[in-house]
């Protein structure tokens, strides 16, 4: 009898719980969604929009069309900024009215809608829709607006109005090159008295066809290439200004071309303005633009600026062991699988991989100064940094010794380097890079020291 009563109570409870869930949760969420939909001025999806017009007071109308990508067709023909257009379309899709002011307004002038400050029209699924934004409301951060029903006056938030109020500069692309980095196989940088030409010989390496034996550091070329591909116009000259006289563009101070098998894109660099911006003209954009003048300083002056002067070319995964002596403390690391472990100290917590990799990256980037010849000589007995790299089977691939860390004011410093256990030579290199190398090794060695007596120079 008790079991039957309990089952009846359970059934009643489940019915009540189901009733509560449906009416208080499911139906409530549905009503909220219906209310949200009712507040939207337009029932469209942004992916349905294929054309858009933006007419603002005291500015030329802007028209955009979607082909394979978005294009601005008025007041000039150019590519649109895809992310800016996507943001604008997202704002159009989610325009919500704060409240209705007039269902049917006989006079639109009091709301500024007889001559709206902003008139946005768009084509979605074959139908044109309109949004007009008028005067700012007296109270609150709201604006009067009307949708497809012109005489229905509503309020939209000031935040939404600002998201819709886009200029031609906002919507046009600022990219001066359109090619993809991995497709580019030739780079040319031409000055009035010099020309630098680089050709890609494989996925990683570059070559000067006139000096095929010259060793070029790929990362230096990649840095230049990335700088050019990320270059953005900071300003455009007034539309309709075709003359380049007085801007240093005819002839240009610099000519930069990037090429693939199918296409070449050219950028002309002219005069600088107040040492802050430089005039440029791109084959991929109409008119004349301006970019950060620091671009010129970042361009290589000659082939020697791209020379690979690294001490020890290697891949991080090649390194299987690492011996350190930093400010008198010594330790050794070994790679075990995907992790690094301290040798001879099983209880010590393993170092974070990024700390070891940071040190290896510093070594990869370390370069000698070309104007100072190296000298064959043993390192001094006293040293602040002693570092040895090992590959598989304990094979030593290179060792570095730093007798003294250069002071903060020192532009240069001396480092001893030996390859594969061979004779060590002294080199002059950047003081900043040696300070970074020492700091990176010291951060890694912030632990109790473990003796390791087979470092070069300690035998």
Sequence ranges of the domains in the chain: 46-171, 181-306, 316-444
Q: Of 186-200, 297-311, 437-451, which range is least confident?
A: 437-451
Q: Of 148-152, 161-165, 426-430, 446-450, which range is least confident?
A: 446-450
Q: Using one digit for the tens of pLDDT, what is the confidence trace for 298-348?
A: 999 889 999 999 999 888 999 999 999 999 888 999 998 889 998 886 667
Q: Using one digit for the tens of pLDDT, what is the confidence trace for 22-65?
A: 556 545 554 544 445 556 888 888 889 999 999 998 889 999 99
Cβ atoms within 10 Å of 171's Cβ, excluding its own:
20
Q: What is the pLDDT of residue 435?
A: 95
CA dist 291 to 79, 276, 428, Å?
Answer: 18, 8, 36
Partners of 310 in beta bridges: 367
Q: Using one digit for the tens of pLDDT, what is the confidence trace for 332-391?
A: 999 988 899 988 866 678 888 899 999 999 999 999 998 888 888 888 888 999 999 999
Q: Which CATH architecture has domain 46-171?
A: Sandwich (2.60)
CATH code for the part of the protein at 181-306: 3.30.1490
pLDDT grade for 447, boundaries at 50, 70 and 90: low
pLDDT above 50 (res 134): yes
Cβ atoms within 10 Å of 264's Cβ, excluding its own:
12
Tell me the C-alpha distance between 119 and 55, whole Å: 5
pLDDT grade for 275, boundaries at 50, 70 and 90: confident
Q: Of 17-21, 227-231, 281-285, which range is least confident?
A: 17-21
Task: Out of 25-39, 60-74, 240-254, give the one with best mean pLDDT.
Answer: 60-74
Q: Is the sign of the CA dihedral 74, 76, 79, 80 positive or negative? A: negative
How big is the CA angle at 266 (ends 262 and 270), to the nearest 5 degrees?
175
Tell me the C-alpha distance between 177 and 191, whole Å: 19
Predicted TM-score (pTM) of this structure:
0.76
């Amino acid at each position: 009898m008790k079991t039957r009563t309990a089952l009846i109570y359970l059934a009643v409870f489940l019915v009540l719980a189901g009733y509560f869930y449906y009416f208080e949760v499911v139906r409530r969420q549905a009503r909220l969604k219906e209310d949200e939909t009712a507040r939207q001025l337009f029932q469209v999806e942004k992916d349905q929009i294929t054309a858009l017009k933006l007419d603002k007071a005291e500015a030329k109308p802007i028209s955009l069309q979607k082909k394979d990508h978005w294009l601005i067709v008025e007041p000039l023909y150019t590519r649109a900024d895809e992310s800016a257009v996507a943001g604008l379309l997202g704002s159009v899709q989610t325009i919500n009215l704060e409240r209705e002011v007039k269902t049917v307004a006989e006079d639109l002038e009091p709301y500024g809608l007889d001559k709206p400050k902003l008139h946005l029209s768009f084509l979605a699924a074959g139908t044109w829709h309109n949004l007009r934004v008028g005067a700012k409301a007296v109270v609150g951060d709201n604006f009067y607006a009307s949708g497809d029903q012109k005489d229905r006056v509503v309020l939209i938030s000031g935040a939404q109005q600002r998201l819709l109020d886009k200029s031609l500069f906002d919507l046009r692309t600022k990219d001066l090159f359109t090619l993809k980095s991995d497709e580019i196989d030739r780079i040319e940088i031409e000055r009035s008295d010099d020309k630098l030409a680089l050709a890609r010989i494989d996925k990683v390496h570059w070559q000067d066809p006139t000096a095929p034996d010259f060793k070029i550091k790929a990362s230096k070329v990649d840095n230049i290439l990335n700088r050019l591909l990320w270059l953005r116009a900071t300003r455009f000259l007034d539309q309709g200004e075709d003359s380049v006289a007085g801007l240093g563009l005819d002839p240009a101070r610099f000519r930069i071309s990037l090429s693939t098998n199918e296409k070449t894109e050219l950028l002309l660099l002219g005069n600088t303005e107040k040492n802050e911006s430089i005039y440029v003209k791109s084959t991929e954009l109409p008119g004349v633009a301006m970019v950060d003048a620091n671009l010129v300083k970042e361009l290589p002056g000659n082939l020697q600026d791209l020379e690979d002067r690294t001490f020890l070319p290697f891949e991080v995964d090649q390194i299987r062991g690492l011996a350190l002596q930093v400010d008198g403390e010594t330790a050794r690391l070994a790679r075990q699988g995907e992790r690094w472990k301290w040798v001879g100290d099983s209880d010590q917590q393993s170092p974070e991989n990024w700390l070891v990799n940071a040190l290896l990256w510093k070594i990869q980037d370390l370069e000698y100064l070309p104007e100072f010849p190296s000298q064959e000589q043993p390192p001094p007995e006293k040293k602040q940094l002693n570092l040895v790299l090992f590959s598989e089977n304990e094979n030593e691939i290179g060792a570095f010794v730093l007798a003294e860390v250069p002071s903060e004011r020192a532009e240069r410093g001396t480092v001893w380097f030996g390859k594969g256990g061979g004779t060590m030579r002294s080199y002059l290199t950047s003081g900043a890079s040696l300070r970074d190398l020492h700091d990176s090794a010291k951060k890694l060695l912030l632990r109790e020291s473990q003796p390791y007596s087979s470092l070069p120079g300690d035998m």
